[in-house]
Structure 1
Amino acid sequence: KGFTYALLMQDDEEKYIPPMRGHFYDIVPFWSSQPMLEKTYITKIPSDKPAYEFYHGECQSSVRFDGDMTVYSFTKRNIMPIEREPNMVATSDIAPKLLLSTSPDWEAKSLWFMGVNEDYGSFDPTPEVQEFVNELLKGAKTEGDSISLLTHWVADNMRYSGISMGPGEGFTLHNAQMNFTDRCGVCKDKASLLIAFLRAAGFESYPAMTMAGSRIEDIPADQFNHSVTVVKLADGEYHLLDPTWVPFVRELWSSAEQQQNYLMGVPGGADLMITPISPPINHYLRINGTSTLLTDGTLEGEFTVAAEGQTDASIRGIFTRAFKSEWNKNVEKELLRINPKAEIIEMDYGKNPIDHMAAPILIKIKYRIPDYAFVGMNEMAFVPLLSKKIFSRGMSHLYLNTGLEERKYSFRDRCSRLVEINETITIPEGYTYLNEVDAGESKGKAASYQGSVSQLGNSIAMKQKIVLEKRIYEPEDWPDVRAAVKAQNEMAETPVVLVK
């Protein structure tokens, strides 16, 4: 039948209503998880509506005319499974595939998407919605306050739960009355309710479609799996909002979706666009501490963990994804994972760590670890605690497989990121650091690393700075990323040796 997303059974064709009336699209993968001798795809399309492109490879194709119709045939033989690489992008981003669409351009699809929802009245605020929004925004002082309050209310109070409402509704977003009453739905429902809220507050807002997890090719086929919101601000520009991806996240648009294509459904139509890279500083992790090493090898000290953006969400997850009764245990586990003898003397994570919009996460820990250092005859050896990948939940790059010397395909991390780790350790009198470590610098466009361990008087200073510039990387970025990750991992395993 030629439909990828609608499986048609015999005598079922009348039940299928094309999303965009009068147009046809298909997305045909020419890859397989098993060896395939041959795959052939044939379709007949009106001759005045051709549009197709074959990506990431070659195939044998033919065209013949049948009256006012054109018959296209595409064949690929000896298809072998693609050998995947760790953390590589979606298979559809690199494997052979055929895209067909009779839609003239993205602008036409943009106007259609806006039209079907405006005609349905998806975003018309009800009196109940208007009254609720007015009450919610009483404390808002700025444009930013209003948008943040509305976005995070929908994000945190509308449960993500799919509801089947019958056939043929795919691109029509449910209306405000239903969404506000049910307080549950999928991404398009959360996006729709936020649009209604924003319009009730006087903003100009519309829906947008995107593809979470893979690229959208420049053929106006329906390569979408996610719905979001756009709002026009005082600067005259549209800004993206995603109430589905920002529960307990201190963002309005999730930077885990950076470098992601999207299409707005706005007046006048829009072309396919891509979300910008979020600067690493927006997602910092800063771990700073001081400690004292006793002559018996005990380590006593304190440190703070501060984070923002997507890194804040990762660290804060020990609270937001757990019962309150487990919070202290979850913090303790971060130290016990490093050393099972660790004892937490004090901890402070504020009165309400799940109140993510109050301030960036800040955790303070005071600890004691008996027998932390190896103690020998006139010598001691230990690895600085804060270099040992503590709170690694905020450093997903550490789990990249650096055993790969090169990559064939693009790869991805959770998000762009800045990591700064500093620890000052007071050591017993009379000891000298045997070999100062200067891990040096690894400066690259995609990632960089600076690290050192040095002695000043009776103190050892450990410093590290790691910068990961983006979420999706090209194969040629791998040497930069690999060098930075390897350097941080090696620092976590390199002992400080003191002699007397």
Structure 2
Amino acid sequence: MSERAGYQPYFYQLTIATILFDRKRSNTEALFMKRATAGLYQSVLTAALLLTISLPRPALNAPLGEQETARLVADAPGADEYPDAGALILYQEKNVSVAEDNTQVLEEQLLVKILKDRGRRFGDQKRMFDARTDSVEVLRARTWLPGGQTVPVEAKAINVITPPELTGAAIYADIKQKVISFGSIAPGVVIELVTRTISRPDTSAPLNLYPYWDVEVFRSDEPILEKIYDLEIPADFPEPRLFTGGGLEIAPDSADQESERPKAKHYRWEVRDEPMIHRIPYMPGTLAFAPFLLYSNVDSWEKLGSWLGAQFYPKAQPDAAIRAKVAELTAGSKTPADTVREIYLFVTTQVRNISLQLGLAGYAPTEAAKVFQNMYGHELDKAALLSAMLTAAGFENYPALSRADQVDLLEPSIPSAAQFSRVSIYVPGLFTDSTFANPLYPQTERHGLWLMPIAQYNRYAYYSRGQGARALVILPCGGTLCRIQEFPPEKSLSYSNASLELDAEGNLTGQFKTVTDGLFDAQARLALKDLTPRELEQFFRQATNSVGEGAEMQSDSLSDLRDLTAPASAGLSFSAPEVGVVQGEMMIVRLPQAPFEFAGLPYFPELKEREFDFVADGPFVLASEISLGLPEGWTVAYSPEDLSRSSQFGRWNIDCSISGGRLNFSRRLMLTSRQVKTYDYPDFKKFCESFTLPRYSLLLLEKKAAPGK
């Protein structure tokens, strides 16, 4: 296996499954987001576990015959039977074979019927691979027309390209993508693709270990009529560790399988009539509910950590140039925390991110010296550079693999790198997580740091997903599972302050200032950091308009969003006509909210009921304070009363008082739940809605009677 392909055949499965089965996820968080819970659906699920077989037969990975394929195409249901689907996966079979010399072969056959225009996406099939050690061969590619005729894919429509995200990154020139573009794509046609991927073993395998592992999902955004997964290994190889979720079970006819390799060990899983996934907001990842398979031939996390460490640590060594840069960066550092922060900020913000899935990138990074020279790298490469620079500064540090789930869904019984989707560097020590004195979270407990080398949109040392989850910390002597730090709700803060003046005609003037931390800080950077000056101007104008119709912006302010040590903050001063509606002797005023979208509720339970658990990015605190100058000659007839509510999901409170001609209004919501079960969702929805009731922002003013009346 190559250094980048020690996961084989994992990355092929990940690439295919990501394209077909989990379009919701992007970047490195595509497939392995949730662990399934059994028995959620009434679909027909079967699986087969096949052990030593001695009867010869055609190769396990032989594709369907012509007649059987033609029958499947002819009998395929249409859009009437699947009105919500864009396509129908008629048949998918994946056969993974591990040879005695540890060569791995993946053969896949795919039959997909296009039902609607959105199903045309299946007409471009893509397979990524490492050209140094792997090859992808197209055995059959054709389009079946409604009349039964077939149109083969032309040779010129099958191309090997450099993935667009790797353009200009010469160090990854061996990562290629084979693109198969089908012709005559329209509703009613069926595409058929048979491919073979061969992955040669790494002759310099660390610890003489040749790992194989995979995660395979048996449900997708389109319905599946039949899907089969076969694994074949030599008879004298140890049994792999197996885990299935979402109702995947052993099939009763598993012993009927045959192989042309006598006495090979076979494992088979199969599903039929699997319904499509109907996506809804804030739903868990696919592994939380779909049938899935997880396997690995590594028998302990310690051994996996040793294998990963043998590939990582030799590449994460500082050279003279790295040591010189560390000395330059930390010349003004007064504390160890300053040193770590300066090094991290350099790697995160100055070394360009390359988007490449962890599995496809491989588990051996590029040498840190080369990453420093090129000033770009994918997540693992940047982790190696960060580790090398921290080592040069004298800091103990360890790479760690983790998941990007909102809740911990690691399956501890299967030591497999396929369970992870991101890399961080853990620095033991007594640090605080922030240099910003959060007004609701002024001090933090001292702890080690989990540093994500590509987190260019997060405050220093903050991460929204993966908090409290288990990570594989890779030590020089092996690996161990540890819990990642979990932040309290106060760490994710949106705090808005407004000083407003209301005149007798209902015109409102004033200013808003919002300061953020944690989740809200990340939202602000994602929304604004990369905008052009003209786009920023438009953003502030839209924010002004949200205060009231006809509002005009007087001035605006925005913190330096490139500075990850400072909180993301924004300010706005404005004048808005007739925010208060005068009706005779009365004036109706709705107290305005913070005008910045990133400062509001990050998520809200809109749906009346849910099929899946409600899962979001974590606890937070939303707080605001308004000081409103009342117009002379008017008095308050109605204002929100002081209220508070508490539940298992959090608490909120509203306080309102009048003093010296000013109304002081504050409210605060703390949500403490990351995940809400479907049976708790109605109560969760009621709790959240109770905080946003219109009457809690309504103000009624009454004109004072003239003296003597």
- Partner residue, 1:413: 616
Of 241, 252, 262, 1:51 maps to: 241
Evaluate the alpha carbon distance shift between residue 275 and residue 348 of structure 1 in structure 2; reply closer, same or farther with a 3 A threshold: same
Q: Which range is displaced more, 190-199 or 168-177? A: 168-177
* Of 57, 78, 82, the match for 2:273: 78
Could you report, residue by residue, the CA deviation over 1:312-336 in whole angstroms, capped at 9, with x for unpaired residues? 3333556522234654553343222
Tell me: CA distance 1:128–1:480, structure 2 relative to 1, closer, same or farther (3 Å).
Answer: farther
Residue 481 of structure 1, CA deviation: 4.5
Residue pairs, 1:66-145, within 5 angstroms:
69-118=264-313, 121-145=314-338
Give the CA deviation at 1:499.
Answer: 3.1
In structure 1, the partner of 2:651 is: 448
More off after superposition, 17-26 vs 309-318: 17-26
Which ranges of structure 1 fall in alignment gaps of 5 or more residues? Answer: none
- Per the alignment, residue 349 of structure 2 pairs with 156
Change (3 A) 1:421 1:83: same
1:209-254 deviation digits (Å, cap 9, x = unpaired): 2232474323223222222222233699863110201x25322242
Closer, same or farther: CA 70–139 of 1 in aligned 2, 3 Å: same
Kept after mapping to 2: 8 A contact 1:278/1:470: no
Match of 1:272 in 2: 481
58-67 or 482-491: which moved more?
Answer: 58-67
For 2:697 and 2:600, locate their aligned partners in 1 and report how far apart those are by CA, in whole Å: 19
* Residue 502 (structure 2) pairs with residue 308 (structure 1): no
- Judged with a 3 Å threshold, the aligned counterparts in structure 2 of structure 1 residues 499 and 487 are, in CA distance, closer, same or farther, namely same
Alpha-carbon distance in 2 for matches of 1:191, 1:476: 41
CA distance in 2, matches of 1:353, 1:206: 29
Match of 1:382 in 2: 589
Distance 1:492 1:157 in 2: 49
Q: Per-residue deviation at 1:109?
A: 1.0
Q: Please tell me whether the aligned partners of residues 11 and 360 of structure 2 are also in contact (alpha carbons under 8 angstroms).
A: no
Aligned to 1:216: 410
1:335-357 residue CA offsets vs partner (Å, 9 max, x unmatched): 2233242223344446x554342
* Structure with max Cα Rg: 2
Partner of 1:393: 598
How does 1:32-43 map onto structure 2 within 5 Å? 32-43=220-231
Q: 1:75 to 1:207 in 2, by over 3 A?
A: same
Offset at residue 147 of structure 1 (A)? 1.0
Q: Distance in 2 between matches of 1:25 and 1:364?
A: 51
Counterpart of 2:302 in 1: which secondary structure? helix
Q: Contact 1:283/1:309 (CA < 8 Å) preserved in 2?
A: yes
Structure 1's 39 and 410: CA in aligned 2 closer, same or farther, altered over 3 A? Answer: same
Distance 1:256 1:395 in 2: 19
Partner of 2:17: none
Q: 1:345 aligns with which of 535, 554, 572?
A: 554
Superposed CA offset, 1:245-294 (max 9, x none): 1x253222423442444222213333334434311221211112222211
Q: Deviations over 1:120-147 (max 9, x none)?
A: x211111101111011111112121111
Aligned to 1:147: 340
Structure 2 Cα separation of the partners of residues 329 and 13 of structure 1: 52
**Aligned-pair distance for 1:208?**
1.9
Unaligned runs of 5+ residues in structure 2 are: 1-7, 14-105, 107-135, 138-195, 432-445, 704-709
State yes or no: 1:190 paired with 2:382: yes
What is the identity, as a one-letter code, of the residue corresponding to 1:282? K
Label 1:6 to 1:313 Cα distance change in 2 as closer, same or farther (>3 A): closer
Task: Work out whether residues 353 and 361 of structure 1, in 8 Å CA contact, stay in contact via their aligned partners in 2.
Answer: yes
State the distance in 2 between where 1:95 and 1:16 align: 32
| Residues 378 and 162 of structure 1: CA distance in aligned 2, closer, same or farther (over 3 Å) | closer
Q: Distance in 1 between matches of 2:682 and 2:447?
A: 37
Identity level (%): 23
- What residue is the counterpart of 1:179 in the other structure? 371
Over 3 Å counting, the alpha-carbon distance change for 1:440 and 1:493 in structure 2 is closer
Partner of 1:403: 607
TM-score (norm: length of structure 2): 0.62
The Cα RMSD (Å) is 3.3
Offset at residue 477 of structure 1 (A): 5.6
Aligned 1:215-254 pairs, distance under 5 A: 215-218=409-412, 219-221=414-416, 222-233=418-429, 239-245=449-455, 247-254=456-463
CA distance 1:40–1:319, shift in 2 (3 Å): closer
Between stretches 55-64 and 91-100, larger displacement belongs to: 55-64
Aligned residues: 488
Which letter maps to 1:461? N
What one-letter code is carried by the residue in structure 1 that aligns with 2:598? R
Aligned to 2:215: 27
Work out whether residues 439 and 487 of structure 1, in 8 Å CA contact, stay in contact via their aligned partners in 2: no
Q: 1:15 and 2:211 equivalent?
A: no
Q: Please tell me whether the aligned partners of residues 437 and 454 of structure 1 are also in contact (alpha carbons under 8 angstroms).
A: no
Deviations 1:355-380 (A, max 9, x none): 342x3344443321112111111111
Shift, 1:473, TM fit:
4.5
SS at match of 1:60: coil
**What CA distance in whole angstroms lies between the structure 2 residues aligned with 1:299 and 1:168?**
56
Q: What is the 5 A alignment of 1:406-485?
A: 407-438=610-641, 440-453=643-656, 455=658, 458-469=661-672, 471-475=674-678, 478-479=681-682, 481-485=684-688
Match for 1:489 among 670, 692, 700? 692
Distance 2:501 2:360 in 1: 67
- Partner SS, residue 312 of structure 2: helix
SS in structure 1 of the partner of residue 323 of structure 2: helix
> Do 2:230 and 2:266's aligned partners in 1 also have CA atoms closer than 8 Å?
yes
Cα distance in 1 for residues equivalent to 2:570 and 2:270: 58
The CA distance in 2 between the partners of 1:197 and 1:41, in whole Å, is: 44
Q: State the alpha-carbon separation in 2 of the partners of residues 238 and 362 from structure 1.
A: 27
CA distance in structure 1 between the aligned counterparts of 2:281 and 2:538, rounded to whole angstroms: 32
Q: Is the 8 A contact 2:345 2:564 kept in 1?
A: no
Q: Secondary structure at the match of 2:490?
A: helix
> Deviation per CA, 1:450-496, whole angstroms, max 9, x where unpaired?
22555557443332101122544444564564345323433488532
Greater alpha carbon shift after TM alignment, 31-40 vs 128-137: 31-40
Cα shift at 1:72 = 2.5
Name which of structure 1's ranges 449-458 and 175-184 shifts more when overlaid on structure 2.
449-458
Partners of 2:623 and 2:558 in 1: how far apart?
20
CA distance in structure 2 between the partners assigned to 1:383 and 1:269 by the alignment: 61
Find the aligned partners of 2:673 and 2:635 in 1 and give their Cα distance.
40
Instruction: Name the CA distance, whole Å, in 2 between partners of 1:484 and 1:392.
Output: 22
SS at match of 1:437: coil
Deviates more, 1:475-484 or 1:279-288: 475-484
Inter-CA distance 13–356: structure 2 relative to 1 (3 Å threshold): closer
Seen in structure 2, the aligned counterparts of structure 1 residues 426 and 415 have a Cα distance that, compared at 3 Å, is same
Displacement of 1:81 in angstroms is: 1.9
TM (normalized to structure 1)? 0.86
Q: Go from structure 1 to structure 2 and tell me whether the alpha carbon gap of 1:91 and 1:126 turns closer, same or farther (over 3 Å shift).
A: same
Question: Cα deviations across residues 432-466 of structure 1 (Å, max 9, x unaligned)?
Answer: 44444347333123332222555557443332101
Residue in 1 that maps onto 2:502: 293
Q: Corresponding residue for 1:60?
A: 250
